[in-house]
Protein backbone atom coordinates (compact mmCIF):
# COMPACT_ATOMS: atom_id res chain seq x y z
CA UNK A 1 0.00 0.00 0.00
CA UNK A 2 1.31 3.41 -0.92
CA UNK A 3 1.90 5.84 1.94
CA UNK A 4 -0.50 8.39 0.51
CA UNK A 5 -3.32 5.81 0.47
CA UNK A 6 -2.92 5.33 4.23
CA UNK A 7 -3.40 9.07 4.76
CA UNK A 8 -6.81 9.15 3.09
CA UNK A 9 -8.46 8.42 6.48
CA UNK A 10 -8.36 11.73 8.36
CA UNK A 11 -7.24 11.86 11.95
CA UNK A 12 -6.85 14.58 14.54
CA UNK A 13 -3.11 15.15 14.11
CA UNK A 14 -1.20 16.06 10.97
CA UNK A 15 0.55 13.17 9.28
CA UNK A 16 4.34 13.47 9.53
CA UNK A 17 6.63 11.33 7.37
CA UNK A 18 10.38 11.65 7.70
CA UNK A 19 13.49 9.78 6.75
CA UNK A 20 16.25 9.06 4.28
CA UNK A 21 14.56 9.05 0.88
CA UNK A 22 17.79 8.97 -1.18
CA UNK A 23 15.99 11.21 -3.67
CA UNK A 24 16.58 14.82 -4.63
CA UNK A 25 13.84 17.45 -4.11
CA UNK A 26 13.17 17.57 -7.86
CA UNK A 27 12.92 13.78 -8.25
CA UNK A 28 9.66 12.22 -9.42
CA UNK A 29 9.04 10.64 -6.00
CA UNK A 30 9.40 13.86 -4.04
CA UNK A 31 7.47 15.89 -6.59
CA UNK A 32 4.61 13.36 -6.29
CA UNK A 33 4.55 13.54 -2.48
CA UNK A 34 4.51 17.34 -2.52
CA UNK A 35 1.85 17.64 -5.21
CA UNK A 36 4.10 19.09 -7.90
CA UNK A 37 3.03 16.24 -10.18
CA UNK A 38 0.09 13.80 -10.23
CA UNK A 39 -0.49 12.09 -6.89
CA UNK A 40 -1.68 8.48 -6.52
CA UNK A 41 -4.50 9.54 -4.19
CA UNK A 42 -6.23 12.79 -5.21
CA UNK A 43 -6.00 15.49 -2.55
CA UNK A 44 -3.28 13.81 -0.49
CA UNK A 45 -0.27 16.13 -0.61
CA UNK A 46 2.59 16.60 1.85
CA UNK A 47 4.40 19.84 2.64
CA UNK A 48 8.20 19.69 2.51
CA UNK A 49 9.26 21.09 5.88
CA UNK A 50 12.60 22.37 4.54
CA UNK A 51 10.88 24.38 1.82
CA UNK A 52 8.43 25.77 4.39
CA UNK A 53 10.75 26.45 7.32
CA UNK A 54 14.39 25.96 6.32
CA UNK A 55 16.96 28.70 6.08
CA UNK A 56 18.05 30.04 2.71
CA UNK A 57 20.62 27.28 2.18
CA UNK A 58 20.00 24.20 0.01
CA UNK A 59 19.74 22.06 3.18
CA UNK A 60 22.22 19.42 2.04
CA UNK A 61 21.99 16.35 4.27
CA UNK A 62 24.70 14.61 2.26
CA UNK A 63 27.92 16.62 2.21
CA UNK A 64 31.64 16.07 1.81
CA UNK A 65 32.10 18.02 5.06
CA UNK A 66 31.11 14.71 6.63
CA UNK A 67 34.05 12.25 6.32
CA UNK A 68 31.67 9.28 5.96
CA UNK A 69 30.06 10.91 2.92
CA UNK A 70 33.34 12.28 1.55
CA UNK A 71 34.47 8.74 0.68
CA UNK A 72 31.66 8.48 -1.86
CA UNK A 73 31.75 10.07 -5.28
CA UNK A 74 28.43 11.88 -4.98
CA UNK A 75 28.15 15.63 -4.67
CA UNK A 76 26.24 17.46 -1.93
CA UNK A 77 22.51 16.77 -1.89
CA UNK A 78 19.33 17.11 0.15
CA UNK A 79 18.07 13.53 0.33
CA UNK A 80 16.59 13.39 3.84
CA UNK A 81 13.19 14.96 4.45
CA UNK A 82 10.42 15.79 6.88
CA UNK A 83 6.98 15.92 5.22
CA UNK A 84 3.77 17.15 6.84
CA UNK A 85 0.22 16.63 5.64
CA UNK A 86 -2.14 19.12 7.24
CA UNK A 87 -5.69 17.81 7.57
CA UNK A 88 -8.59 19.89 6.21
CA UNK A 89 -9.53 22.54 8.72
CA UNK A 90 -6.32 22.22 10.75
CA UNK A 91 -4.50 25.38 11.66
CA UNK A 92 -0.84 24.57 11.50
CA UNK A 93 2.54 25.66 10.26
CA UNK A 94 6.14 24.60 10.01
CA UNK A 95 7.94 27.10 12.24
CA UNK A 96 11.56 26.13 11.56
CA UNK A 97 13.50 23.33 9.95
CA UNK A 98 17.16 22.80 10.74
CA UNK A 99 19.95 20.37 9.96
CA UNK A 100 21.52 18.29 12.70
CA UNK A 101 25.01 17.39 11.58
CA UNK A 102 25.60 14.70 14.19
CA UNK A 103 29.18 15.87 14.74
CA UNK A 104 30.36 15.43 18.31
CA UNK A 105 33.88 15.23 19.72
CA UNK A 106 35.36 14.76 16.25
CA UNK A 107 33.04 11.89 15.34
CA UNK A 108 30.09 11.88 12.96
CA UNK A 109 27.17 9.64 13.93
CA UNK A 110 26.08 8.99 10.35
CA UNK A 111 26.92 9.70 6.74
CA UNK A 112 23.81 11.92 6.57
CA UNK A 113 22.84 15.01 8.51
CA UNK A 114 19.54 14.79 10.35
CA UNK A 115 16.57 17.07 9.76
CA UNK A 116 14.53 18.54 12.62
CA UNK A 117 11.29 20.44 12.10
CA UNK A 118 9.33 22.47 14.64
CA UNK A 119 5.60 22.38 13.98
CA UNK A 120 2.69 24.11 15.62
CA UNK A 121 -0.92 23.11 15.19
CA UNK A 122 -4.28 23.31 16.87
CA UNK A 123 -4.11 27.02 17.69
CA UNK A 124 -6.21 29.70 16.02
CA UNK A 125 -3.31 32.13 15.69
CA UNK A 126 -0.51 29.97 14.27
CA UNK A 127 -0.49 31.33 10.75
CA UNK A 128 0.99 34.76 9.99
CA UNK A 129 -1.52 37.44 9.11
The alpha carbon of residue 72 and the mean position of all alpha carbons in its chain are separated, in whole angstroms, by 23
Whether 49 is covered by a domain: the verdict is yes
Whether 11 is covered by a domain: the verdict is yes
pLDDT for 129 equals 47
Whether 127 is covered by a domain: the verdict is no
pLDDT for 73 equals 79
The domain containing residue 58 runs over which residues?
Answer: 3-121
pLDDT tens-digit series, residues 24-72: 999 999 999 999 999 888 888 999 999 999 998 999 999 888 888 888 8
Enter the pTM of the model: 0.83
pLDDT tens-digit series, residues 67-113: 888 888 788 999 999 999 987 777 888 999 999 887 777 777 788 88
pLDDT for 1 equals 40
Instruction: State the virtual CA torsion across 83, 88, 89, 90 in degrees, nearest 10.
Output: -20
Whether 126 is covered by a domain: the verdict is no
Whether 129 is covered by a domain: the verdict is no
The total of structural domains in the chain comes to 1
Q: What is the CATH number of the domain that holds 42?
A: 3.60.10.10
Whether 128 is covered by a domain: the verdict is no
More confident residue, 113 or 128: 113
Amino acid sequence: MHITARQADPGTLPAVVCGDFNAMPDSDEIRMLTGLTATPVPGIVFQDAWTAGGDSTPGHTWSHANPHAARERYGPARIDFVFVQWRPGQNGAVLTTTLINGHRNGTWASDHAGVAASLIFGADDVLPQ
